[in-house]
Amino acid sequence: MTQDVQQRIDSLVQQNKIMVFMKGTKLMPQCGFSNNVVQILNVLGVPFETCDVLADPEIRQGIKEYSSWPTIPQVYINGEFVGGSDILIELYQKGELQQMAEVALAS
């Protein structure tokens, strides 16, 4: 990953309390896993930003190196990597995701 790509990812992760790197956009997810994440965050009613990795191949590859996580989508809350679709579903079902989002948005 180039330094430019790392800086772009750093900036997105640090400037947004909840950041999702996904296939498509929050208005038009381009895969089922990305759609799952968007639906969960919409149900929680929390503001979040997305980055369409399909529109930016450098970010698509770079985010995998950045997090050492091989799949998309990737969710960051308060600058920390949380996980992908399966992990978000699990955290949502346990009620932990709501708490994480509330803490992030309050800080």
In the chain, the DSSP E strands lie at 18-22, 49-52, 74-77, 80-83
d(CA 66, CA 62): 6
d(CA 53, CA 24): 7
51 assigned to a ligand binding site: no
**Binding-site residue ranges:** 31
**Binding-site residue ranges for [2Fe-2S] cluster:** 31
